[in-house]
Amino acid sequence: MATKAKKKKPLEELLQEALVPEEEQPYEVPENWVWVRLGDIIELLYGKPLPRNKRSGNGYPVFGSNGIVGYHTDFLLEGPIIVIGRKGSHGEVNWFNESGWPIDTTYYVKTRKNIDFKFLFYLLKNLNLKKLNRSTAIPGLNREDAYNQVIPLPPLNEQKRIAEKVQRLLNKIDKAKQLIEEAKETFELRRAAILDKAFRGELGTNNPDEEKPSVETTLSKKEIPSTQLPNNWGWVQIKDLINPMQTRNPKSINGDKFYYVDIEAIDNEKQIISSTKELSINEAPSRARRKVDKGDVIISLVRPYLKNVAVITEQDERLIASTAFYVCRPKKLLKTKYLYNFLRSSYATRYLILHTKGDNSPSVRSTDFERMPIPLPPPNEQNRIAEKVERLLSKLDEEKRFVAKVEEKLNQLKQSILSKAFRGELDTNDPTEESAIELLKEILSS
């Protein structure tokens, strides 16, 4: 915030203006630190417009309000650069080692030679500039609001020590978070592997002495998958094991309201019905026509890659599903939980994707769904498979929850490190060093 007018004032007067009164200081810092305002040590400059159609597509990175948004043959600034989001991702603070081009939705930071640039970056990260948004329409950061933020200023050597220690500690956290990301990536693979083994008879639950189910099927030999199954299993089509779907008109139920199950009602991560819409009979959508009963398994044939699959867990005539779902009502030889697990397996998903048609709303025809081959074990084996799958997936979910908690703690630790850094609590401060007030005098005199 220093201007030409300020530079003409005596140094002592400038110092008095810059130092934050004790009553406005948010917390205690070491005695050789001082409190100032952000605008006393930095300047936020507007990035320069560079429309997408003018960018060359290669060369130096183009910086937007929250990262790299393209590339161009020229650069505006030499690195390293601190870029702060001005519009959109306002208040986001990013560090870039390389030279590049901050565009006009950003500010870039210009500072004095007596301020360590890396220290400044961590200081800005700790300020949480996102909270300064004034606009209700387009989020934005006013630089005057940023300039007015009260900040602690240590001596220059302490700034460097803080920056070095913070970077070292945060690097360790980032490495731990990378391991977490790698673990998270394996969860879906492991889930898929469990379900894949379940429908190959490879979970170690099959009893070869149990009799093979006898079902009439129209499945031809060339339609039988090449997957090797236990001898007492067989391949059939889904339509051989389920009853025909039934319709239910909302106007036929008792009462003036019903519960509508549409695709939005499905939590496709947990693969359960997480919510239903309570609608009056008069506002019933035309697609509200699928009759569902307890024990039915519903699967959306629209965008099947989303795996919108769930079991109907209660009996209620007021529950009506969308025609986007295929309602599977198992016959005697097919167990509900076995079918449910099969329909969320990668085998079933691949089959459905292969038979998907249409661009705007890609979907599978009911007849194609009904022809899907399904491995059929003896009924008792179906129950054992369902129990083991549930046990294995439950254990996997426990691991996911544990990893999520560790990730949350790492994020909290990261914030704690930044908070301690700017309170002088990282055991880096040397109380014998010259007070930062001398540094401030140099800044104000320059």
Give alpha helix (H) positions in 8-93.
Answer: 11-18
Cα dihedral value 264, 268, 272, 278, nearest 10: -10
Give SS3 for 73.
coil
Structure tokens belonging to residue 71: 């590339």
Q: Tell me the one-letter amino acid at 290.
A: R
Cis peptide before 80 (omega within 30 of 0): yes
Domain 4-154+434-445: give its CATH superfamily. DNA methylase specificity domains (3.90.220.20)
DSSP string of 376-396? E--HHHHHHHHHHHHHHHHHH
Task: Assess contact for 259 and 316: CB atoms under 8 A.
Answer: yes
CA angle 167, 170, 171 (to 5 degrees): 80
CATH 3.90.220.20 maps onto the chain at 4-154+434-445, 211-377
Which residues are CB-neighbours of 80 under 8 A, at least 6 positions away?
95, 96, 97, 98, 117
Around Cβ 5, how many Cβ atoms within 10 Å? 7
pLDDT tens, N- to C-terminus, the chain (446 residues): 444 444 467 888 889 888 999 999 999 999 999 999 999 999 999 999 999 999 999 999 999 998 999 999 999 999 999 999 999 889 999 999 999 999 999 999 999 878 999 999 999 999 989 888 876 667 789 999 999 999 999 999 999 999 999 999 999 999 999 999 999 999 999 999 999 999 999 999 999 999 999 998 888 888 999 999 999 999 999 999 999 999 999 999 988 999 999 999 999 989 999 999 999 999 999 999 999 999 999 999 999 999 999 999 999 999 999 999 999 999 999 999 999 999 999 999 999 999 999 888 899 999 999 999 999 999 999 999 999 999 999 999 999 999 999 999 999 999 999 999 999 999 999 999 999 999 999 988 87
Nearest CA to 92 out of 105, 104, 101, 74 is that of 105
CA atoms in the 13 A half-sphere facing the CB of 367: 1
* Second CATH level (architecture) for the domain 211-377: Alpha-Beta Complex (3.90)
In sequence order, the β-bridge partners of residue 37 are: 150
Task: Assess contact for 41 and 153: CB atoms under 8 A.
Answer: yes
Going by DSSP bridges, is the β-strand pair 288-291/266-267 parallel, antiparallel, or unpaired?
A: unpaired
Task: Assess contact for 286 and 262: CB atoms under 8 A.
Answer: no
